[in-house]
A and B are shown apart, each in its own frame.
Chain A
Amino acid sequence: MAIENPGQPVYSDIELDAREGAIVESFFAEHQTAIPDPADWIGAPPLPDNILLTTVDKVINWSRHYSLWPVTFGLACCAIEMMCTAASRFDIARFGMEVFRASPRQADLMIIAGTLTWKMAPWLKRIYDQMPEPKWVLAMGACGTSGGIFKGSYSVVPGFNKVVPIDVYVPGCPPRPEALLQAIMEIHNKIEKMSPTRKASGV
């Protein structure tokens, strides 16, 4: 049986381009102000003196921070340092996070490594939204904090906090793997201070 010619595609190339352009332009218009860094975990009131809850919290936090799986998100030169961190010399596997997931649904941490352009930003936001809670975001490099050397450019997002809330910023252009490891350990510290049972019970 002959395969039927599908004929004209539903959308022409230029229609797809125009649709993409409309998405990017509306995203640009909506994301001009910085999203504040999540800080509600700092100075949270102490838990009710409940030995069960505090113990469960500790266990959950311990298990979370020793298997923090990052989603693959290398955008530019910082990604090379991120790969180097994952390779044998610096060995991110010591922290139980050598599994860079290709799917956001299996990841807890997003290491945004590199220069983010407005054309890419809607899809970064989509991948962030697809990650299950709890999730953490690590902005790697000067582009992540402010746009870096591309600040003021026509196409580069000046700081990732315009798009997603950022937990830890790593300065450097690009940062050394030691700096990335330090930032990952800061995320570990942050996880240890969270109280997942409080969140679940809504106290």
Chain B
Amino acid sequence: MKDLGFIEIAIRIRERFGDGIAAADDKRLIIEPPRLAEIAAFLRDDPELNLDYLSSVTAIDHKTDFTLIYRLYSLSQNHRLTMRVPVADRVSPAVPSVTPIWRGADLQEREVFDLFGIEFSGHPNLKRLFLWEGFPGYPLRKDWVSRGP
């Protein structure tokens, strides 16, 4: 399985969606959130890339901001890509959902919503997955303080 080059992908995304929406060096590909859904559809539908399988969606808390990480595979082209989406707003973080593009993102986005409190706009059924309704706060955030004994 081949890893796609981050810089080439960033160049292709910039050609299509305009400057400032994607940045890359040799270690990471960073995509700004506003047009994430369109970019995801492009990555899936482009015949050369054809990244048709979303392996995982996860999040990192950097104490001041969040980063979402999407791991994509192409089962037909036999290559893969990891992309990062920074979420700067800590008070009400929101990014476009990719569930309409990859159905498998459904539960994973709900998990991130449950434990980090990042909202995925456009998700068809965004509610808590593991924890119960009424649970105070988001426990995988770095500033969450445990309650109880």
Contacts and interface: CB of A to CB of B under 8 A. Distances in A.
Interface of A: 13-14, 17-18, 20-22, 24-25, 28, 32, 118-119, 152-155, 158
B75 interface: no
Contacts of B130: 155
A202 to B, nearest CB: 37
Nearest to A15: B133
Interface in B97-149: 127-128, 130-135, 139, 144, 146-149
Given A14-B127, A17-B127, A154 B146 contact: yes
A17 B148 contact: no
A145 to B, nearest CB: 14
Contact of A17 (B133, B144, B147, B149): B133
Contacts of B131: 119, 154-155
B131 to A, nearest CB: 7
A152 B145 CA distance: 10
A32 B134 CA distance: 18
A153 to B, nearest CB: 7
Given A20-B133, A25-B134, A152 B128 contact: no
5 contacts: A21-B132, A22-B133, A118-B132, A154-B131, A155-B139
Contacts, number: 41
Contacts of A25: 132, 134-135
B133 A32 contact: no
Given A14-B133, A25-B132, 20 more contacts: A14-B127, A17-B128, A18-B133, A20-B132, A21-B133, A21-B135, A22-B133, A24-B132, A24-B134, A25-B134, A25-B135, A32-B148, A153-B146, A154-B131, A154-B135, A154-B144, A154-B146, A154-B147, A155-B139, A158-B148
Contacts of B149: 32, 158
A28 B147 CA distance: 11
List the 8 shortest-distance A-B pairs measured between CB atoms, nearest first. Answer: A21-B133, A21-B134, A21-B132, A154-B139, A24-B132, A17-B133, A18-B133, A25-B134
Contacts of B146: 152-154
A24 B133 CA distance: 9
